[in-house]
Amino acid sequence: MQGYCDNAKAIRNFRADRIVGVIEIDDQIWPTEQVGNGESSISYQVIVEAATRQVREILPQLPIGSLSASMLGYSEIWIARAICSLAGQAQVAEPANVRALIQSRASSALRNYE
């Protein structure tokens, strides 16, 4: 489920099975930007194997029927975490520094199994 997080002051994805409580406010604001105040967005190119439900939950900006898109993320770490959570279902084509961060995290995770 996607909603506005007051703590982060930005749109966030929430797992329905982990939501403890919801408060509906009278003044419902839906920000036009997907980044919080003071944050700048990072443009990245993503390629997915298949637009599964999990991919759509993690990458809601992915256009319906498309397997690649230019997207905006909050930070390099946020993008890397999102892509790594998809366990190979998606990859970042650009920028190279985000791609390198994802490769480093994946290599580190694999070393834990040696």
Mean pLDDT of the chain: 83
Peptide bond into 60 cis (omega under 30): no
Question: Taking 90 as the threshold, does the pLDDT of residue 27 lie above it?
Answer: no
CA dist 14 and 5 (Å) reads 9
Q: How many residues does the chain have?
A: 114
Kindly report the pTM of this predicted structure.
0.64
The number of distinct structural domains making up the chain is 1
Q: Which tokens belong to 31?
A: 């920000």
